[in-house]
Structure 1
């Protein structure tokens, strides 16, 4: 059985159901929370796949991981459907597939900006420019990495722009070494 096909179909069904109910933003947040727990708590996946646990225990665990008592009825029904269909081992992939499909349908591009110091104005500016150029909503996650010395590294939609001082120094060093090899 193809993991990708199963996870995409379940994710699409959840997204269509959420849109029909008008609750897609809340479910998107719940699915992101659940996906984050799958990524940060490796034992969650093993526990959910454990055949010794009852369906009720698995459902309670997943509901708690998705946000606790504030989880929507749509999300509870989806999790119950996955458990009843014995598709728990695909749930991790379903969450990421749902997130991808939601972002695609809502025209949301994700990006990452790495700077040497905190730069919230730059993040806001790049989100605005990106939105104008792509006609999509651009959400940029900011990271701070002092090792790049200065400048920034921008990654968005598979593209990477490395305008960091550390990268420029590497390029100068590489050029210097190449030039000196020819002399010798």
Structure 2
């Protein structure tokens, strides 16, 4: 994974710079995200690994599937990826691009898993508290996992806050076991 990220980083930075220069961050983000999802499909992966198919044809196929928001600059970017045989990195490129965009726009996506349904008011209060703590605009996605017993688990990027009963019981068991 780290190796893929290392290979994808210069392409993601170049795409981000081009999108920023053209003031088209949202458009590039959408195209790269869809292209990343397309290339994550197992059938498409096998197609991309086919040595009998020209690299430019592979790029055209992906662009045809993506279809919306494909500018000449995006098409040129995909041509460079094809020539460098880097089309399989599109998923990682999209992830990095969206990270750069979120950093620039000072936004963060947060996943909250709770042992109970969070009301809209609770989600709003949590989002406000996290926004103040992280000094970023927060986009919150809540899900339910009754196996947590109680409490919540908050995830964003590398940060995980486990305030669940299951997590506390696990820590207690580890402490007693050592």
Task: Report the TM-score when normalising by structure 2.
Answer: 0.78
Deviation, 1:130, is 1.9
The farther-off stretch of 11-20 and 46-55 is: 46-55
Residue deviations 1:75-97 (CA, integer Å, cap 9, x gap): 32211221133332433332222
CA distance in 2, matches of 1:162, 1:4: 27
What is the CA RMSD across the aligned residues, in angstroms? 2.9
Are 1:45 and 1:92, in contact at CA under 8 Å, matched by a contact in 2? no
TM-score normalised according to structure 1 size: 0.76
Unaligned residue ranges in structure 1 (runs of 5+): none
User: Quick one: distance in 1 between partners of 2:125 and 2:159?
Assistant: 18
For structure 2, the residue ranges without an aligned partner over 5 or more in a row are none
Describe the superposition over 1:88-141 as per-residue Cα deviations: whole angstroms up to 9, x where unpaired: 243333222222222222222232210123325233322222222222122233
2:13 aligns with 12
What number of residue pairs does the alignment pair up? 173
Q: Does the Cα contact within 8 Å between 1:113 and 1:123 map onto a contact in 2?
A: no
**What's 1:143 paired with?**
143
SS at structure 2 position matched to 1:72: coil
Q: Which has the larger radius of gyration?
A: 1
For the Cα contact (< 8 Å) 1:112–1:140, is it kept in 2?
A: yes
CA distance in 2, matches of 1:120, 1:9: 42
